[in-house]
Each structure stands twice: as structure tokens, then as C-alpha cells.
Amino acid sequence: MAENGRKILLAVDEGDESMYALTWCLKNVISENSKDTLILCYAKPPRAVHTAMEGTVWAFSPDVMESLERYSNDVAQCVIEKAKRACKHLNDVKVETVVEHGDPRDMICEVAEKLKVDLLVMGSHGYGLIKRAFLGSVSNHCAQNAKCPVLIVKKPKPKGGNGKH
Amino acid sequence: MDTTTAETSSTGAEGAAYQLLTTTATAAAEEKKKTKVLVAMDESDGSFYALKWALDHFFCYPIQRDQEPSMITLVHVQPIFQPFIYPAGPVVYATPAMLDAVKQAQAQNAASILSRALHVCREKKIKAETLILEGDLKDRICQAAEQLHVDLLVIGSRGLGTFKRAFLGSASNYCAHHVQCPILIVKPPPPSKEPHSE
């Protein structure tokens, strides 16, 4: 029953929420003794080739495209490095990284299915009028469509003093 | 709790100043804080599956060497029985006897669910306590999660609708949006898979 070797997929992006999810995960889900596999997944949103508006079609020159591509690769590297550094102290845990291209919502669910993970962990941006009351669209979509259990970690708002009720 | 942590830390630093001891004691006390987990239960198999999955995958070993095992709170929310039946047709007021009967049935139902759940927890040697609440399922769970300051909410997901596996049930969706703490949504396994523990 106490099987080791869970596969945990953690979705990272540039925001703070996923780093908070990572630290929460390291604190509460993974221990040094467990032989888990932690897979960090970064979904690179595809660069729009041209933002076509009525009348003005921006045709990006190859140089611009290249530098955009390089920038997004750098961002991906940075995010993955930051996440890996946070996991450095785990000895028994295998840390793998996956970088996917495409819409994060679908990519994360696909990767979770492909790798047959046991648990999908993600942060949540909570965009919307009342930030705390809504889930981000990516986490909402993944929670609905992923076939495996999903753990959504929300970053608590820094509250000074006692809470509201 | 402070004395026990002071003992465990004094074995390392024997002649250290008391200031160092107290700081390590408070640090160790923070680490030793139990993880509070709230598990929402109802009659469906989905919530029992969620409970078993959480027990299998989360709590099979202590997270840190010093940390005590987490405390699980099983909560069951009973919908409040409306005394008015068939508001569209002739309004039938339930007699007090009927109300009592329904209340008893509900209490029995809740007790049986929670005892089954407690049994599951005891099999895996996890401490658990139970809580019965009344009211609207979604609101009460979110309120309970906030008031008890839980670290994790575990909820099963029963997809209603045509694609049973593809969507979240409304309760888990609502809780995922409104609860402040991390939430773990466990979906029932696909029917093709054998129901053995992975």
C-alpha cells in the first residue's frame, strides 16, 4: 500500500503562483524518502505569426521572429532552471523537465495523459474581478479535463492582521 | 510541545546558548505543525474513492522525519430538509412526525457514511475525526475549510451530465473556485481500468 514512485506533474509558468505551488508541493507532498518522480512541465504558448487586424497586417521579419523565438526559449529555460533549483535538495526524487509548445490548457492535460501521472499539481492565477474568487482559466480547464487527480494550490493573499470573518 | 522540541534539539547542540535553543525550538515547532486535511464525504462512491486515493498517495509516509502524521477531518454535509413539498402543486406541509422521521433517516445516513469512512482511515492507520454539517453543500464546505484553517481540501468529483468523466461535478467546481486553501480533486477511475490500487 505504501508504494513509492508516484509520478507527479507540476505545471510551471512565469508567474509566482506556480513557484508557490512548487514549494507547497515540496513541503507537503514530496518527502526526501519517497521515490517519486517529479515532472516539471512548462507550456510555451505559441507565438502568433501575425497579428492581423483590419487593414494592417504586421508581417514580422525573420529577424524579429527569431528574436521572439529566442526570447521565449530563454523564458522557458529560466522558469525551468528556477524550478529545478528549488528541487535541488531532494535526493531520492527524480526530477524531469518537459517543455511543450502550444496552448497550456490542452498541453498540460495531454502531457498528464501521455506520461500517466498520478497527480497533477498546478498553481492558479485567479484572474477576474475578484482575484481570490475565481480560478485561472488554465487551472479550471485542467481540473475539468485531466483524467488524473488534480491539486490546485492557490497563493494566499498577503493579509495583514486577522481574516475577515 | 515546547519542552519536547527543546529536548529533541538539545541532543544536537549540547552546550549552546538558550537563545539558540529557543530559536531552533520554535523552528522545529513550526515544522511539526500538523497538516490539516478536510475530506468532503457523501454517499457516492466517488468520495470514498477520493478518500482512499488520498490516503494511499498522500499519507503513506511522513513528510519530514520530525513531522507527525496529518490530521484528517471527514466532513459530511446534510442538505436541509425543506418542510414544503411540491411547491407547484398543492402545498403539503410535512407533519412533525414526518420531519422527525426524515431527520432521523438523515442522521443515520450521515452516521453510516462517516463510520465507513472512519473505518477506511483506521485500516490505513490514519487518525481521523468527523464533522456533520447542515446546509448547502458547496457553501458549507468552503466555510468549514476557512474556519478550520485547513491545509488541504480533498473532494471527489462526480461528473454530472452526458460525459460523466469529462466534467467536474458542480460541487467540486464551486469549491475549486471559492476555497482559499489548496484543493485536491480526485476523479473516479475510468471503468476500463481494474479497481486495484496502483
Nearest to A95 by CA among A116, A81, A112, A107: A81
Question: Between residues 56 and 95 of chain B, which touch chain A (CB distance below 8 Å)?
Answer: 56-58, 60-64
Chain B: closest CA distance from residue A160 (Å): 16
Contact predicate A145/A116, CB 8 Å = no
Whole-number pLDDT of residue B92: 62
pLDDT band for position A165 (cuts 50, 70, 90): very low
Whole-number pLDDT of residue A127: 54
The order of strands in the sheet holding A37-44 is: A94-101, A37-44, A7-12, A119-124, A150-154, B183-186, B152-156, B36-41, B71-78, B128-134
**Contact B190/A152, CB-based, under 8 Å?**
no
Whole-number pLDDT of residue B94: 66
Name which of B52, B123, B183 to mutate to probe chain A: the one with the most chain A Cβ atoms within 10 A of its Cβ: B183
* Nearest CB neighbour to B197, from listed A1, A144, A153: A1
Name which of A151, A153, A159 to mutate to probe chain B: the one with the most chain B Cβ atoms within 10 A of its Cβ: A151
pLDDT cut 70: percent of chain A above it:
73
CB proximity A20 to B under 8 Å: no
CA–CA dist B50, A67 (Å, integer)? 47
Question: Which amino acid belongs to residue A78?
Answer: C
Q: Counting one residue from A and one from B, how many pairs have CB atoms under 8 Å apart?
A: 78
Chain A: closest CA distance from residue B109 (Å): 27
CA–CA dist B84, B86 (Å, integer)? 7
Question: Which amino acid belongs to residue B64?
Answer: Q
Per-residue pLDDT of chain B (198 residues; tens, 9 = 90+): 444 444 444 444 455 455 555 544 444 444 445 678 888 887 777 888 888 888 887 765 554 444 556 678 888 888 776 665 555 555 566 677 877 888 888 888 888 888 888 888 888 777 888 888 888 888 888 888 888 888 888 888 775 444 444 456 677 778 888 888 889 988 877 665 444 444
3-state secondary structure chain A: CCCCCCEEEEEECCCHHHHHHHHHHHHHCCCCCCCCEEEEEEEECCCCCCCECCCCECCCCHHHHHHHHHHHHHHHHHHHHHHHHHCCCCCCCEEEEEEEECCHHHHHHHHHHHCCCCEEEEEECCCCCCHHHCCCHHHHHHHHHCCCCEEEEECCCCCCCCCCC
Is the backbone of residue B178 left (phi > 0), alpha (psi -120 to 50) or beta? alpha
* Contact residues on chain A for B183, CB-CB shorter than 8 A: 151-152
**Contact A152/B197, CB-based, under 8 Å?**
no
* Nearest CB neighbour to B184, from listed A33, A135, A149: A149
CB proximity B124 to A under 8 Å: yes
Which CATH homologous superfamily contains domain B33-186?
HUPs (3.40.50.620)
Instruction: Cell 522540541: give the residue.
Output: B5
Question: Taking CA atoms, what residue in B is nearest to A125?
Answer: B177
**Contact B60/A150, CB-based, under 8 Å?**
no
Domain boundaries, chain B: 33-186
Domains and CATH numbers, chain A: 7-154 (3.40.50.620)
Question: Model confidence over A91-148: pLDDT tens digits?
Answer: 677 888 888 888 888 888 888 888 888 889 888 875 544 544 555 677 877 888 888 8
pLDDT band for position A157 (cuts 50, 70, 90): low
Name which of A154, A164, A165 to mutate to probe chain B: the one with the most chain B Cβ atoms within 10 A of its Cβ: A154
**Contact A143/B57, CB-based, under 8 Å?**
no
Question: Taking CA atoms, what residue in A is nearest to B143?
Answer: A165
Question: Model confidence over A27-49: pLDDT tens digits?
Answer: 777 766 667 788 888 877 766 55
ipTM of the complex in this document: 0.76
CB proximity A151 to B under 8 Å: yes
pLDDT band for position A163 (cuts 50, 70, 90): very low
Chain B: closest CA distance from residue A82 (Å): 22
